[in-house]
Structure 1
Amino acid sequence: MTYLQSEMKMDVDQNPTMVLNELRKQCPSGLQEYLNTFEDLYDRKLWHQLTLKIEEFFTEPTSGPYQIQLFQHFISDWESKMNKLKLVRLGLCVAKQFSDYNEALAFLTSLVEKVDTTETRDAYVLAVTETAYIKLRLFDLEGTKTAMDECEKILDTFDSVETVIHASFYRVCADFYKAKAEYAQYYKNALLYLACIQLEELTLEEKVERAHDLAISALLGDTIYNFGELLMHPILDTLTNTHLEWLRNLLFAFNAGDIGKFEMLAVNFVQEPILQDNMSFLRQKICLMSLIEAVFKRSSDNRTIPFANISEETQLPIDEVEYLVMKALSLKLIRGSIDQVGEVVVVTWVQPRVLDKDQIDNMRQRLQEWDENVKKTAVFVENETPELFIQ
């Protein structure tokens, strides 16, 4: 139902009681009691209770076709008595009922004007953010960016804000960067969005789509070389037992620097042309991940690595190893130096990582080995210099 259609059906004046009477003629029996309660609470001027009842009404699956009429002809009569953040949240539900994005944008623009006050900046940000989302759907990237920049500046001034506002902001930012194919920015904002919501709020289709997009952005992001945060997130489990499970497995292969598994899974790239088109970049990235993993697995006192070892780990010709290490140094994935004459790399630091379970187990084993070595050293020193341990 479009906004114009709803106007034609509501052939009454703006008297709230008449509005409710007209809606009663249209609503199914399951919604009739709500309208009776609305009228009673309105007559008694119990605005808070009326707001709560309308919020409940909006959660009814069958209420959608009547939300535009109720908001435009009933709520608008007393909206000044309502909490502005609640008003915006109700308005966002109404905006979803418009079949035309231009009508939805006009509706939300009017809602923005209603909450554009110094006392209601949180509601204003939420309204502007969702307006930006509609602009994005209308392919107005410039308008979307302008709106999001404004919201970001306001959010930076808040000491605290309701989670729903940050969730809306990060969701729209993520979708904006997806439209621009800016993978690293999408990855960052999509994960921040998921941190602001309960995963149960998303449908299964939305979870799968979000997991797919995060996987693609992690693989193609030219600054993303640590997938641990995504690998440990339950959103990724939605790909299990689906036609996209190979994509999940590919992420684990990258995180482990497993070139052999990468080659096995690469046959699936025909399902994702964007990965097929970026094969050379992905090959370089898996080699860099393999290098990082090789360094990370070594103890801090064993990080002088011959070119030959790196060549074996990354499956690169030895004459390409130096370029790979230089790339890793330039991306700040490692720190150290290259001895061209001796054909070795001395690594002094490796980028911190969010570890998956296998990597955590590997670190546990290394700590156990370190603990055993410390104990052996202590016993040796005690045996060789007993006089130092006389009580």
Structure 2
Amino acid sequence: MQVDRPEPQVYLAQALSSPQLPEELKPFYQAFERFHTNKLWYQLTRSIEAFFAVPASASFRIDLYDNFIKDFANKLDQLKLASIAVSVARTYSDGNLAVSFLDTLLPSLDTPETREAYVLVRMERGHFKLLLGETVDAKEAMDACEKLLDQLDSVDLAVHGSFYRVSGDYWKAKAEFADYYKNSLLYLACIDVEKDLTAEERVSRANDLGISALLGTIYNFGELLMHPILDSLVGTEREVIRNLLFAFNSGDIPKFQALVPEMAEKEPFLQQHFAFLREKICLLALIEAVFKRPTSDRVLPFSIISSEAQVPVDEVEHLVMKALALKLIRGTLDQVSSSATISWVQPRVLDRPQIDALRARLDEWTDKVSAQGEYARAQAPELFVQA
């Protein structure tokens, strides 16, 4: 059943004369009238976007869309229209109504020319489905939109951001830590963290990323450590997450043990996975022990590994085999000599102290090469005679 709508000019005139319309919003309605009358669709779109950016406009967005924007929706840039529609959907207090609203747009956007707009609306629809607990629909949207995005040569950052954000929320609901971590970092790469996230959202996002890094099968989270969002945890009750991340990244078992009481008090969810965390930091301590040694000193007796990783000697072999299975290292075990020969360590992003240590090793290597060169020159000066 089609609902009769007033003519756009009539609707705007009625809205301007309404006592419910705040004074700060009246200039927007006047601009809407001027741009619509002159068919200046680009300027009208910009005015609508500016209107939606004003918090006081929240209670007027649905009405404006239904009685004004819908009348000329096909004349607007469809990606801009999709973005406006998403903002409208977020003003619904009922998730089912938001889904129904977005459903009205999808058929008209399902064309080769409007794929980006379709993905944006489909993924935001998936967001509301997640809020309603309907994860199957959200997963279907993710799979369908991923295929569409793969077919596009270029994609607006807002579209990619929506895809990664909703995908991350889905994996969070499924407690798949590694997938959440990956998608959330990609989402942050698509937005301006300071402008697009509130202070509370930054803390929540950093906390979730930290927990996923600690509990997921992720052994290289240097990228997160260098991301400015992690600084939002400083001075909050969740700062322990940040401190744990730095301890794990450097395989610092004493620091981890010192943080355990605070972790148990403030992050009981992590405490429930203490056994996994303990094994993980032992693995990272092993990696750090190998990494900080020169390549000429990569044969590690079990006693050294036991000391560095703080595990009993009879558990060292299991620890090394675990690291080999996770492809964190490559090498061989010698049970006869009770040693491990490590030929390769998984590449990772280094923090500043690790970079400083690497620089010191490079300086030492340079000095050795220079010394060898001077020795060779002294032993056979004729080889260095310049023509």
Q: What TM-score comes out, normalization by structure 2 length? A: 0.96
Identity %: 53
5+ long unaligned stretches in structure 2: none
- Residue number among 286, 304, 326 corresponding to 1:291 in the alignment: 286
- Residue number among 376, 381, 385 corresponding to 2:380 in the alignment: 385
For residues 187 and 33 of structure 1, what CA distance do their matches in structure 2 show? 43
Q: Structure 1 residues 338-347 or 110-119, which shifts more?
A: 110-119
Query: How far 1:48 sits from its partner (Å)?
Result: 1.9
The corresponding residue for 1:139 is 133
The corresponding residue for 2:323 is 328
3-state DSSP of counterpart to 1:170:
helix
For residues 390 and 59 of structure 1, what CA distance do their matches in structure 2 show? 75
The corresponding residue for 1:198 is 192
Query: How far 1:316 sits from its partner (Å)?
Result: 0.8
For residues 43 and 312 of structure 2, what CA distance do their matches in structure 1 show? 73
For residues 232 and 209 of structure 1, what CA distance do their matches in structure 2 show? 17
The corresponding residue for 2:13 is 21
1:356 is aligned to 2:351: yes
Amino acid at match of 1:356: D
C-alpha contact (below 8 Å) 1:12/1:18 kept by paired residues: no
For residues 380 and 348 of structure 1, what CA distance do their matches in structure 2 show? 29
For residues 161 and 175 of structure 2, what CA distance do their matches in structure 1 show? 21
The corresponding residue for 1:96 is 90
C-alpha contact (below 8 Å) 2:240/2:263 kept by paired residues: no
Amino acid at match of 1:74: F
1:319 is aligned to 2:304: no
The corresponding residue for 1:45 is 39
The corresponding residue for 1:163 is 157
Q: What TM-score comes out, normalization by structure 1 length? A: 0.95
1:230 is aligned to 2:224: yes
1:363-378 alignment runs, 5 A limit: 363-378=358-373
1:63-82 alignment runs, 5 A limit: 63-82=57-76
Query: How far 1:12 sits from its partner (Å)?
Result: 7.4
The corresponding residue for 2:301 is 306
How many residues in Structure 1 have an aligned counterpart in Structure 2? 381
CA deviations 1:118-158 (Å, max 9, x no partner) are 21001111110100101010010100000110000000111
Query: How far 1:175 sits from its partner (Å)?
Result: 0.6
Q: Which runs of 4+ in 1 moved over 4 A?
A: none
CA RMSD of aligned residues (A): 1.3
3-state DSSP of counterpart to 1:354:
coil
Query: How far 1:13 sits from its partner (Å)?
Result: 3.4
CA deviations 1:333-371 (Å, max 9, x no partner) are 000000000001000100001000111000000000000
For residues 303 and 37 of structure 2, what CA distance do their matches in structure 1 show? 84
CA deviations 1:182-237 (Å, max 9, x no partner) are 00000000100011111111100000000000110000002x01121111111111
Amino acid at match of 2:351: D
For residues 6 and 108 of structure 2, what CA distance do their matches in structure 1 show? 19
1:109-148 alignment runs, 5 A limit: 109-148=103-142
C-alpha contact (below 8 Å) 1:84/1:120 kept by paired residues: yes
The corresponding residue for 2:167 is 173
5+ long unaligned stretches in structure 1: 1-10
For residues 192 and 84 of structure 1, what CA distance do their matches in structure 2 show? 24
